[in-house]
């Protein structure tokens, strides 16, 4: 997988680098996962993977070249303020998701409401 940044600019208002990139994935024969792209981008940008959020990765039809967009924030807190929740979830490794989820407790059985007794008569 060869990743190349095609466009990059810093947005001071949102405190992030906005990056456009291409991925040549002829060696892997399939579109790389979001997390693989995230790690490669973090390496190129000299940033921690926790502050890089890949927004999209799309392979062009009939080629082994994918194009995408990502944001690299100055801090994790800044990213959580700005990035939508679904993007944050997509860029979180499975092991981390499972650790964050608390084990669900069994719900208590609902108490039966007393039924009024009908009197015949």
CATH number of the domain where residue 88 is located: 3.30.70.330
User: For residue 105, what pLDDT is reported?
Assistant: 57
Q: What is the pTM of this model?
A: 0.74
Range of the domain at 61: 2-93
Q: What is the pLDDT of residues 91-111, one digit of tens each?
A: 998 886 667 666 555 555 555
Q: What tokens appear for 21 in the block? A: 């990139």
Q: How far apart are the first and last CA of the chain?
A: 85
Number of H helices, E strands in the chain: 4, 4
User: For residue 113, what pLDDT is reported?
Assistant: 58
Number of domains in the chain: 1
Backbone angles phi and psi of 118, in degrees to 5: -85, 135
Q: What is the pLDDT of residues 34-78, one digit of tens each?
A: 999 999 999 999 999 999 999 999 998 889 999 999 999 999 999
- The answer to whether the CB of 32 falls within 8 A of the CB of 66 is yes
User: For residue 89, what pLDDT is reported?
Assistant: 93
Is position 117 within any domain?
Answer: no
Is position 109 within any domain?
Answer: no
């Amino acid at each position: 997988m060869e990743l190349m940044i095609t466009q990059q600019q810093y947005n001071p208002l949102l405190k992030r680098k906005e990056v456009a990139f291409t991925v040549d994935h002829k060696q892997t024969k399939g579109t790389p996962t979001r997390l693989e792209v995230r790690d490669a981008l973090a390496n190129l940008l000299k940033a921690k993977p926790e502050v890089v959020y890949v927004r999209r990765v799309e392979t062009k039809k009939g080629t082994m070249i994918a194009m995408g967009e990502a944001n690299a924030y100055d801090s994790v807190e800044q990213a959580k303020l700005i990035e939508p929740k679904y993007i944050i979830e997509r860029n979180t490794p499975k092991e981390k998701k499972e650790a964050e989820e608390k084990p669900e407790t069994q719900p208590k059985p609902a108490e039966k409401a007393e039924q009024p007794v009908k009197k015949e008569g």
